[in-house]
Chain A
């Protein structure tokens, strides 16, 4: 009986036979060379469909189990544990690199954040991070565990959002934060999240549910916020 192969970030599909994996694309941006490579690999391994996911990732659907390693290699990447379809991701809008509405450089910041924190701590619940370059919130930061909204005066930091079974709007815990300050906050939030996800009462729970049980005072205090 087959199952997801989390060590290869491969998700078993409905047919019970084939798998889906994600192309490695930071922030969903690809240059033509990367795009061509994905097209070549998809063709070579008989991919059934590509899918742009809700998390702005490109899923390659319908890979045979014995081809998974070869597909990763052909894509020029390695499977990243924990990066499986829906466990952990950073979702980011085009920001002021491309979008006329963008008020901050979300793509560069996403790269900095990903490099600093990847691989993300081993938290059994999901970690979704959304980085939006303006209030329009193309990446839905209000329903991410950590959501950022970029404004001229700095970042708004939200914590504890989720959109699934137990929907929660993230709570604003800080405003007007600079890039470095946000990275410190993210580190503190991830530490808090990991510790809470190991405690019996809040084991395996999403950050928003933990905050509902715990209140936000403790999170604010470990973040150095009043």
Chain B
């Protein structure tokens, strides 16, 4: 019987219980053509079944044999995307002011920074971060544990969103934040949640429901 998940190799067992899928770390889904080509070459070399663009803005390589996982990672030369486990699964971000005409804030800049700080960071439960450069919210920030939306006057921060069986929008925590303030507010929320030993596998939205929004705001205030 094969393991459902091999966490240290970022591998997820696929249907048929035979092969695995891996999802290399591609911050924000931005990948240059050379890296993309290498990914395709490696996938072909190891006879992967398919590539799948995921909701976490990754490219999953599906159909890798267990005994070849290490070789695949070595050939890719990329780090693991934490698509699994109790941690910050991803920092999802949009093209922001770098590429998109609608962008009001630098979503790539802040997204990359948060990605460097928190991607894979262990927490009591699954945790997602979405950074969108405008209120359209291409990175779906309202259904992320931490959502940032770029407005002309700064970042709007929401906390406690999720989809799934009990979908819930994030609650408004702060508005008009600059990049540094947004980063600091994110740090406070993450470090608060990190200390919630009682919240094992409980997503942040449930934690907020349990303690009440006002209490939560106090707990993460400066």
Q: A residues bordering B, Cβ < 8 Å?
A: 12-14, 20, 25, 27-32, 35-36, 38-39, 42-43, 47, 49-58, 61, 86, 91, 93-94, 96-100, 102, 135-143, 163-165, 167, 169
Contacts and interface: CB of A to CB of B under 8 A. Distances in A.
Contacts, number: 156
Interface of B: 4, 12-15, 17, 21, 26, 28-33, 36-37, 40, 43-44, 48-55, 57-60, 62, 92, 94-95, 97-101, 103, 135-140, 142-143, 163-165, 167, 169
Nearest to A35: B40
Contacts of A55: 138
Contacts of A99: 14-15
B160 to A, nearest CB: 13
A38 B35 CA distance: 13
B135 A32 contact: no
A136 B138 contact: no
Given A29-B50, A54-B92, A169-B167, A143 B142 contact: yes
Given A14-B99, A169-B167, 18 more contacts: A28-B52, A32-B43, A32-B51, A36-B37, A39-B36, A42-B33, A43-B37, A47-B33, A50-B30, A51-B95, A53-B138, A54-B92, A56-B55, A91-B55, A94-B60, A98-B52, A102-B15, A163-B143
Contacts of B136: 86, 164-165
B57 to A, nearest CB: 4
Contacts of B15: 96-100, 102
A99 B49 CA distance: 13
